[in-house]
Every structure is written in C-alpha cells, then in structure tokens.
Structure 1
Amino acid sequence: MTESVFKALADANRRRILKLLGERPMTAGEIAEKFELAKSTLSGHFGVLKAADLIQEERRGATIVYSLNMSVVDETLAAVMDLLKVDRDKKKDRIEKES
C-alpha cells in the first residue's frame, strides 16, 4: 500500500466517488451529477484516484466508464487489517507484560 492510496482516501469527495463506484461503474457525467463541484475539480479527484490505482477506466465509444479496481481495493483493505492486527497484538503483549 502506498502513500498515494492514503492521499486518495484522505479526501471526503474522493471517498464519495469510490462509494458511488462501489455501487456500479459510472461515467464522469453520472458522477458529476452527484456533486456540486467544477469539472476541473472532479477531474483532479479522478487523477488522484487513478494515480493510486483505486479506479480504472474503460473507453466505450466516445464515453469513458469508471469502475473500482477491486484488486487494489482488496489489497488496501487487507493491508489496513494487517496493520490493525499488528497494533492489537502489540497492545496485547504490552498488557500481558504489565500484568
């Protein structure tokens, strides 16, 4: 998991985009309808999400359809769970040593 993933997840609008794409693949226009943001701002969010490899795009004629990159989403979730498990194990060890 890279810093780019954490950067992408740090913004509420990008998390909303990911949530929408979790429901189904969507075009930029469909996503834009859900936001009151300038096209350039949304484009920037798409760029950050693509750089983190959290979303992928597929050209269908003149339209680009965005979807979640599930392999990266799954890797990210697994990495966060491992991180939390390590922290939990360290805390448990510390408590046992203090007893």
Structure 2
Amino acid sequence: MTDTVSDVFEALAHPTRRQILQDLKGGELAAGEIASRFSASGPTISRHLGVLRNAGLVTERRDANRILYSLVGDRLALSVGDFLSTVCPEQIVLRTVRKRGSSAPSAATS
C-alpha cells in the first residue's frame, strides 16, 4: 500500500510540477500545451504529469489523439490541510472559527 500523502508531497517537491499545477488552475490543458510552456523535453514533461496523476493531483482524459489534463484541487487542499492540522493543531481551531464565521450572517446583510 502506498502512502498517498507522501505521493502528494513528492509531487510537490519539483518546481516544474508545481508550475504545471498552477497552469492547470486556469482550466483543462492538452499535454502538448503544457509541454510547450517548458524548455524540458516532451518525455520529461510526460513523466512529471505521470507523477502528478499518480499522486491524484491531476486527471487525464482522451479527446481523439490528445490527452487533456485537469487539476484535482480538492485532493491538494485536503492532503496539505490534513498534514497542517497534524503539525499545527491551531489550524483546526482556525478552520472551525472560519466555518462558523462564514455560516453566520454578516453585519452588512443584517
């Protein structure tokens, strides 16, 4: 059994993979579009995409002869959030306070 949180942090360890995630924030991109943004070779970018996919941070779908990649933002947020909650217990309290604050009516709307 693999440690999926370790996979996420391993994926985040490389600046190219972090940049790919930032690029995908704007929406789905074809593998060729992603590769064109880097000076690295196509196979190198493909390996980076494989690491991100194996970590569950991106999904892929085929459209004819293209492979399109999308960000799985919840996966990243949950993995990093869980880790931070473990090492920074005050984050749990802050998150609870924020949830209560966002569900309560604001003074401007009252």
Q: TM-score, normalised by structure 2?
A: 0.71
**Alpha-carbon deviation of 1:61?**
1.9
Give the aligned length. Answer: 89
Task: Return the match for 2:30 from 27, 31, 44.
Answer: 27
Matched, 1:60 2:80: no
Task: Return the match for 1:6 from 6, 9, 19.
Answer: 9
Q: Between Structure 1 and Structure 2, which shows a larger proportion of helix residues?
A: 1
CA distance in 1, matches of 2:72, 2:64: 21
**Alpha-carbon deviation of 1:83?**
3.3
Runs (4+) of structure 1 moved beyond 4 Å? none
Deviations 1:37-63 (A, max 9, x none): 011111110111011010000112221
Percent of paired sites with the same residue? 34
Unaligned segments of structure 1, at least 5 residues: 90-99
Matched, 1:81 2:80: no
2:97 matched residue in structure 1: none
Q: Taking CA–CA contacts closer than 8 Å with sequence separation of 6 or more, which of the two structures ends up with the larger relative contact order?
A: 1
CA distance in 2, matches of 1:85, 1:44: 33
CA distance in 1, matches of 2:75, 2:35: 24
CA distance in 1, matches of 2:56, 2:29: 16
2:44 matched residue in structure 1: 41
Cα pair distance change 1:86/1:33, threshold 3 Å: same
Q: Superposition RMSD on alpha carbons, in Å?
A: 2.0
